[in-house]
């Protein structure tokens, strides 16, 4: 807890120094931006997640329902030496990239575009005038997108959630993906629970295949219990790893990938020195009974 208090003080100091700027209005930035006006802030209403969302312009691609690979990683803003090389390697065979602490530099945009990813970032704040937040990239364009942000209770610096949906090959089913960076610094559990519950308000409308991945900041047993209970209510299971290199804070795992109506074919973690979190790589297929 001492370490986390220290980082909270640093975050407040950066805000006061003007390095961190919080936009008055939440928004997303994407490669194409065609979906930027569709439920951009996950406003709750009966049609927030339509059964047949408008297809992205010139939508022709689908994720391969028999095998697609997901990278989940808190990238530490890509600020450590060698991060770009690790990112290029980790994404070489990844169909979906789910980043927390995405830092949308020109170099990152160039990397994503070179790999022909469609990408969107839910802006939490700007750091040195560069958009920062959760970022989701995919080999195909989403046909639905929404996002919201919640402030850290102590520092006021937001965390963001980005929800996207992708067509799957050979089926009428679509894959819903929630990229989430949970609040960290709080004196009680109310803000943590509220962020999860707002995410569930949206994703529970989707009855098909689901991935919820991110940095959940589940660094104590109470947070982990809330997270586990809510995922169980959704019918989502946690990916497990035979060799698990995920980092622990205060003895607890904080990075997770939850899934529903999918089958994990391969699940790997890797030790890196280019972030304070280690990446997770999972290959899924669509479950037979969907």
pLDDT score, position 262: 99
Domains in the chain, number: 1
Per-residue confidence (pLDDT) for residue 187, from 0 to 100: 81
CA distance 170 to 199: 28
- How far is 211 from 8, CA to CA, in rounded Å? 29
Give the pLDDT score at 117.
97
Say if residue 165 is exposed, middle or buried (CB neighbours under 10 Å; 0-12, 13-18, 19+).
buried
Write out the residue range of the structural domain in which residue 132 sits: 2-286
* Contact partners, residue 66, CB within 8 Å, separation at least 6: 169, 170, 285, 286
Look at residues 95, 90, 99, 97 and name the one whose alpha carbon lies nearest to residue 124: 99
| DSSP per-residue codes, 48-112 | SS-TTPPPPTT----B-TT-EEEEEEE-GGG-STTHHHHHHHHTTT-SEEEEEEEE--HHHHHHH
- Indicate which CATH number applies to the domain containing 11: 3.60.10.10
Which of left, alpha, beta for 150 (phi over 0: left; psi -120 to 50: alpha)?
Answer: beta
Query: So what's the pLDDT on residue 61?
Result: 86
pLDDT of 3 reads 47
Element (H, E) at 148: strand 144-151
Q: Is 208 helix (H, G, I), strand (E, B) or coil?
A: coil
pLDDT of residue 46: 42
Looking up tokens 């689901």 gives: 210
- pLDDT of 139 reads 96
SS3 267: strand
Show the tokens assigned to 217: 């900041």
**Over its length of 290 residues, how does the chain's per-residue pLDDT go in tens digits?**
444 444 555 555 555 456 899 998 898 999 887 544 445 567 544 445 666 554 444 445 899 999 999 999 999 999 999 999 999 999 999 999 999 999 999 999 999 999 999 999 999 999 999 999 999 999 999 999 999 999 999 889 999 999 999 999 999 999 999 999 999 988 899 999 999 999 999 999 999 999 999 999 999 999 999 999 999 999 999 999 999 999 999 999 999 999 999 999 999 999 999 999 999 999 999 999 87
- The length of the chain is 290
Helices within the chain (DSSP H only): 2-17, 83-90, 106-114, 190-203, 221-234
């Amino acid at each position: 807890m001492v370490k986390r208090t220290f980082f909270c003080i640093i975050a407040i100091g950066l805000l006061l120094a003007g390095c961190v700027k919080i936009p008055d209005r939440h928004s997303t930035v994407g490669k194409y931006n065609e979906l930027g006006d569709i439920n951009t802030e996950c406003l709750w209403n009966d049609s927030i997640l339509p059964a047949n969302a408008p297809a992205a312009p010139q939508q022709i691609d689908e994720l391969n329902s028999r095998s697609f690979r997901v990278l989940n990683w808190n990238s530490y803003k890509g600020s450590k030496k060698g991060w770009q090389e690790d990112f290029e390697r980790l994404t070489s065979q990844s169909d979906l990239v789910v980043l927390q602490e995405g830092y949308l530099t020109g170099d990152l945009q160039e990397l994503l575009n070179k790999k022909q990813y469609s990408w969107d970032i839910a802006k939490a704040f700007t750091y040195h005038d560069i958009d920062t937040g959760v970022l989701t990239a995919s080999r195909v364009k989403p046909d639905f997108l929404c996002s919201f942000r919640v402030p850290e209770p102590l520092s006021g610096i937001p965390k963001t959630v980005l929800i996207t949906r992708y067509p799957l090959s050979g089926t009428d089913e679509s894959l819903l993906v929630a990229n989430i960076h949970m609040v960290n610094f709080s004196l009680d559990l109310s803000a943590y629970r509220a962020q999860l519950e707002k995410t569930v308000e949206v994703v529970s409308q989707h009855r098909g295949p689901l991935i919820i991945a991110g940095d959940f900041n589940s660094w104590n047993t109470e947070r982990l219990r809330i997270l586990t209970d809510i995922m169980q209510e959704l019918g989502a299971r946690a990916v497990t790893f035979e060799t698990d290199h995920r980092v622990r804070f205060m003895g607890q795992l904080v990075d997770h990938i939850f899934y529903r109506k999918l089958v994990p074919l391969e699940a790997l973690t890797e030790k890196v020195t280019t972030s304070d979190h280690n990446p997770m790589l999972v290959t899924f297929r669509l479950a037979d009974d969907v």
